[in-house]
Structure 1
Amino acid sequence: MLSYPDIDPVAISLGPFQIHWYGLMYVVGFVAAWFLGRRRAARIGLTHDDIGDLIFYAALGVVLGGRLGYALFYGLDQWLADPLWIVRIWDGGMSFHGGLVGVLLAAWWFARRKRLAFFTLTDFVAPLVPIGLGAGRIGNFINHELPGRVTELPWGMPFPGMGPEPRHPSSLYEAALEGAVLFAVLWFVSATPRRRGLVSGLFLTLYGGFRFLVEFVRLPDAHIGYLAFGWVTMGMLLTLPMIAAGLALIAWSRQQPVDARV
């Protein structure tokens, strides 16, 4: 059994002003996407300035969509009881699925503005996302969020405020799968000529599959619990459409021309 690291969720505190590690993880994700996007910008006819604009609009989509999605799917009662809660993002509570919808809307608008095929742009964006996903899960871990189920595995650890039983560090599982593994696969595939839509389909399918698997060892939100059979969670239900859409997109991409702009 391992000990849970004693890390203060507040990274910097200057009087009443506090910077949380959770918020810094979002900065890491956006900076990484900006840096990697600039490296490949010319391949789809974008400038470095265009990448800055794209990251800005995507950031708005992530924050607004992620927070609103969490409020609707997981925290509606809390939002109704405390309307200002929705702006306290530093307290945690972001939905990947809501953030994904926000980013897709931003990408659709940006693609129209730059006269790019939508899936050419999403294929470009998809490999830029996993580093932010992995960093966000590390932020969850530092914030004492996403506790796992009780386990006897040697890397289990007692979760703060949940008793002495060792639990799966489910947020670290997600950081490894949704962050490191997903980035490695998408970056490799997108570095070679491939059919339009393939990278986007892989993103949806792999993220959905990884998230679905981790849900088996991650505790559901206490106020929602299991939805059916003692193991089906809200995360699983929200992930299934992603997997279906990803597989459909991969199949559709087989009929598309090879996009040599890598």
Structure 2
Amino acid sequence: MNYPAIDPVAIALGPFQVHWYGLMYVVGFVGAWWLGRQRAERFGLTHDDVGDLLFYAAIGVVAGGRLGYALFYGLGQWLADPLWIFRVWDGGMSFHGGLIGVLLAALWFARKKRMAFFTLTDFIAPLVPIGLGAGRIGNFINRELPGRVTELPWGMPFPGMGPAPRHPTALYEAFLEGLVLFAVLWWVSARPQARGLVSGLFLLLYGIFRFGVEFVRLPDPHIGFIAFGWVTMGMLLTLPMIAFGSALIVWSRRQPVDVRVG
């Protein structure tokens, strides 16, 4: 298969450019806003609350995602070019950094609304895969996240990396972390669940999906493998998510089902 020839710039008006990568974030936030409004009342939230929450979460995603990438994957590049961190449209966002940013925003919002923290994260968790899936499509258009060489029929030569077909790992992640994760979490959360269960499922399933894809995704060339000739930075950062997600699911078995704060 041939790698699609898609211009990373969606709209260009003179010096003003709108990149597909940035538009994918808009898709994620608008989708989360619309779906969040469908279930807001069940969690004791108003439509205005959903808008406020998404605003703070957006700040957390962008700031946390960019800082996380700079610290985990691009510290040398940041030190060499301090302004690089502001060029978000060039790609380079860390999910784990974005997750920390969203959690900090959720903690602040939960205290403001006097909600249990994990009640709020249970509300947020099914909305996140929309942005994850869209973001991975943005990675694919940006020609990021190259996979390892494969003989599978859907392998495709990666731009700038020779004629050998490679795993389209960005599309794998869009399918698993976006479509599959959304379907599971939306279905489970269709009925009130014990507090923390949906949040735990999100962490566990994302961790498993990401860990698995890392086996066919090339590690960042300036980092390489962390240990044993196969452990990547993505795997390392994902292990705490799997552990904490599993613990949260066990903990949720002793928590109330009522989604409203007492």
User: How high is the TM-score relative to the length of structure 1?
Assistant: 0.98
The secondary structure found in structure 2 opposite 1:162 is coil
- Matched with 2:63 is 64
What is the correspondence of 1:206-221 to structure 2 with a 5 Å cutoff? 206-221=205-220
Q: Distance in 2 between matches of 1:23 and 1:146?
A: 17
State whether residues 192 and 260 of structure 1, in contact with CA within 8 Å, keep that contact through their aligned partners in structure 2.
no
Q: Distance in 2 between matches of 1:44 and 1:143?
A: 37
- Matched with 1:39 is 38
The secondary structure found in structure 2 opposite 1:188 is helix
State whether residues 158 and 166 of structure 1, in contact with CA within 8 Å, keep that contact through their aligned partners in structure 2.
yes
Shift of 1:247: 0.2
Look up the equivalent residue of 1:34 and give its one-letter code.
W
- Matched with 2:226 is 227
Instruction: Extract unaligned runs of 5+ from structure 1.
Output: none
Look up the equivalent residue of 1:211 and give its one-letter code.
R
Q: Distance in 2 between matches of 1:56 and 1:79?
A: 27
Q: CA RMSD of the aligned region, Å?
A: 0.7
Shift of 1:54: 0.3
- Matched with 1:101 is 100
The secondary structure found in structure 1 opposite 2:34 is helix
Segments ≥4 residues shifted beyond 3 Å:
none
Deviations 1:74-100 (A, max 9, x none): 000000000000000000000000000
Q: Distance in 1 between matches of 2:225 and 2:258?
A: 43
Shift of 1:259: 2.7
What is the correspondence of 1:74-223 to structure 2 with a 5 Å cutoff? 74-223=73-222
Q: Equivalent pairs: percent with the same residue?
A: 83
- Matched with 2:13 is 14
Look up the equivalent residue of 1:177 and give its one-letter code.
L
Look up the equivalent residue of 1:144 and give its one-letter code.
R
Instruction: Extract unaligned runs of 5+ from structure 2.
Output: none
Q: Distance in 2 between matches of 1:12 and 1:260?
A: 43
Deviations 1:144-199 (A, max 9, x none): 00000000000000000000000000000000000000000000000112111000
Shift of 1:260: 5.5
User: How high is the TM-score relative to the length of structure 2?
Assistant: 0.98
Q: Distance in 2 between matches of 1:43 and 1:258?
A: 12
Shift of 1:45: 1.1
Shift of 1:29: 0.2
Deviations 1:8-50 (A, max 9, x none): 0000000000000000000000000000011111111111111
Q: Distance in 2 between matches of 1:248 and 1:100?
A: 18
Q: Distance in 1 between matches of 2:258 and 2:128?
A: 20
State whether residues 203 and 245 of structure 2, in contact with CA within 8 Å, keep that contact through their aligned partners in structure 1.
yes
Q: Distance in 2 between matches of 1:41 and 1:260?
A: 11
Q: Distance in 1 between matches of 2:182 and 2:25?
A: 16
Look up the equivalent residue of 1:15 and give its one-letter code.
G
Q: Distance in 1 between matches of 2:258 and 2:196?
A: 9
